[in-house]
Amino acid sequence: MTESADVVVIGLGPGGEALAGDLAEAGLDVVGVESTLVGGECPYWGCIPSKMMVRAADALAEGRRVPELAGTSSVTPDWAPVARRIREEATTNWDDKIAVDRLTGKGARFVRGTGRLLAPTTVAVDVDGDDGTREFEARRGVVIATGTVATVPPIPGLADTPYWTNREAIEATEVPESLCVIGGGAVGLELAQAYARFGARVIILEALDRILGPEEPESSELITEVLGCEGIAVHTGVKTGGVAHDGSGFRLDIGDGEVRAEALLVSTGRRADLRHMGVDTIGQDPGARAVEVDDHLRAAPGVWAIGDVVGKGAFTHMAVYHAKIAAADILGQHGPGAEYHAVPRVTFTDPEVGAVGVTESHARDIGVNVRVGTARVPSSARGWIHKAGNEGLIKLVEDADTGVLIGATSIGPNGGEVLGALAVAVHAHVPTKRLRSMIYAYPTFHRAIEDALNDLAAR
């Protein structure tokens, strides 16, 4: 028997949960389908628990900075409070009852199971347990919000070993004596630094010639240097030829040598898995890396896709941004479409690496006549006062023809917060001339933006 609903949302991560809740509160009959945990990757294995680790690790680092600033300190790391906080406060032991209640409290119906399209507005759900398959016809439409899964490279031997992805790294109740991290992106760097600060001997293996590849080269250089000073070995241009595990540790063949470590974290990116989603019923490729959508997140008539699965930036803030646009569209409201010229991103290393808009090289690649300006945080008044742990920089990318700020990077102790001002400027197409006439509070970290603007004007 086919059941009916106004909207069926497949996948209830930050994007799907927000959208299903908004539509239900607007009075629609919404069915939310989730195969794992309502809330998705972010609260259980992503943003929130990883930032709890980072917060704790940063507290240790601050403690270790006391001798340079304020006397003596002795810091003894203990992972137990971190693991406990993740289990009890962040994930309720990886139980989503609170989230399910929150969603149904807004009026949505909830089905635990795996959904797929049978036709553009028909969804089959393989219900958890032995409850068979339910079929739903969605009067207004279906939303695909199924996120991404960790990619694991086809390195010989790797699949047969007990390697970690972000999930095991977040669930760990003990710190390994040594940790090898394959992949120097946001996941790898945040977790590498956190584990190192808790005492693990950490080595990072990155295939490209620099970590944080999509960001400015200055960001890669600065973070490589900071990690190196903390004792984290960063190897770039590495091709891992094979992985073996002997019951107590890993051995990785990296061409001209080998790496041994007790634990191995694979953080080589994430991708949508569309193979079983029935996207061929809407004319899309089940082997593609993402669902193709227009600026209102429409994948086909009556089908929307939001969040990580559309490949426009794998961030919780992107999933929630998409949810708002798609909800308005489904409700027939004529709202603005998605814009991607000012996507903010923050890698929560210490110092944090914030960035928005285009990088210098990307701007040049798309034919923009570019002017850049930089400033070092330690040379700013606040950076100099801050002293220990003051590494950072501001880099601005201007479209020299229009005089408008189109990209910016802010690295520093509060790099992600300083980014706020720069994100406003890039989002609103503010000319750098206008930014130069602004008053920057003294002595803040964001005042270094003025130094970078002066550098830009002098070019």
Ligand X SMILES: NC(=O)c1ccc[n+]([C@@H]2O[C@H](COP(=O)([O-])OP(=O)(O)OC[C@H]3O[C@@H](n4cnc5c(N)ncnc54)[C@H](O)[C@@H]3O)[C@@H](O)[C@H]2O)c1
Q: Please tell me whether 115 is known to bind a ligand.
A: yes
Q: Please tell me whether 41 is known to bind a ligand.
A: no
Q: Could you tell me which residues come within 8 angstroms of residue 270 by beta carbon, excluding any fewer than 6 positions away? A: 148, 149, 150, 151, 308, 314
DSSP assignment, residue 136?
E
Q: Please tell me whether 157 is known to bind a ligand.
A: no
410-413: list long-range contacts, CB under 8 Å, 24+ apart: 410/354, 410/355, 410/449, 411/219, 411/222, 411/223, 411/351, 411/352, 411/353, 411/354, 411/377, 412/351, 412/352, 412/377, 412/383, 412/445, 412/448, 413/350, 413/351, 413/352, 413/377, 413/386, 413/389, 413/445
> Of residues 122-141, which lie at the interface with ligand X (CB under 6 A)?
none
- 114 binds, options ligand X, ligand FAD, none, Cβ within 5 to 8 A by partner type: ligand FAD
Q: What are the φ/ψ torsions at residue 448 (nearest 5 degrees)?
A: -65, -20
Tokens 């003294």 sit at which residue? 442
Q: Which of 146, 178, 240, 390 binds ligand X (CB under 6 A)?
A: 240
Q: Which of 122, 267, 380, 432 binds ligand X (CB under 6 A)?
A: 267
Q: Please tell me whether 32 is known to bind a ligand.
A: no
**Shortest distance, position 323 Cβ to ligand FAD, whole Å:** 8
- 182 binds, options ligand FAD, ligand X, none, Cβ within 5 to 8 A by partner type: ligand X
Give me the half-sphere count of Cα atoms (radius 13 Å) on the Cβ side of residue 414.
12
- 223 binds, options ligand FAD, ligand X, none, Cβ within 5 to 8 A by partner type: none
Bridge partners (DSSP) of residue 303 are 142, 300
**Residue of minimal Cβ distance to ligand X:** 185
In whole angstroms, what is the distance from residue 114 CA to residue 197 CA? 39
Q: Could you tell me which residues come within 8 angstroms of residue 135 by beta carbon, excluding any fewer than 6 positions away? A: 1, 2, 3, 118, 122, 123, 124, 125
**Shortest distance, position 316 Cβ to ligand X, whole Å:** 8
Select 166 or 240, whichever has its Cβ closest to ligand FAD. 166
Under the binding rule (CB under 6 A), the answer on residue 153 touching ligand X is: yes
Q: Which of 30, 314, 328, 356 binds ligand X (CB under 6 A)?
A: 314
95 CB neighbour count, 10 Å cutoff: 11
**Shortest distance, position 150 Cβ to ligand X, whole Å:** 7
Cα separations in angstroms, 284 against 8, 151, 281, 292, 319? 19, 21, 7, 8, 21
Select 127 or 290, whichever has its Cβ closest to ligand X. 290
- 278 binds, options ligand FAD, ligand X, none, Cβ within 5 to 8 A by partner type: none
Select 32 or 185, whichever has its Cβ closest to ligand X. 185
Q: Which of 176, 183, 307, 373 binds ligand X (CB under 6 A)?
A: 183
Site residues (vs ligand FAD, CB under 6 A): 10-16, 33-37, 40-42, 46-47, 50-51, 114-116, 145-148, 166, 187, 307-309, 314-317, 319, 348
Q: Please tell me whether 383 is known to bind a ligand.
A: no
**Shortest distance, position 148 Cβ to ligand X, whole Å:** 7
Under the binding rule (CB under 6 A), the answer on residue 261 touching ligand X is: no
**Shortest distance, position 454 Cβ to ligand FAD, whole Å:** 32
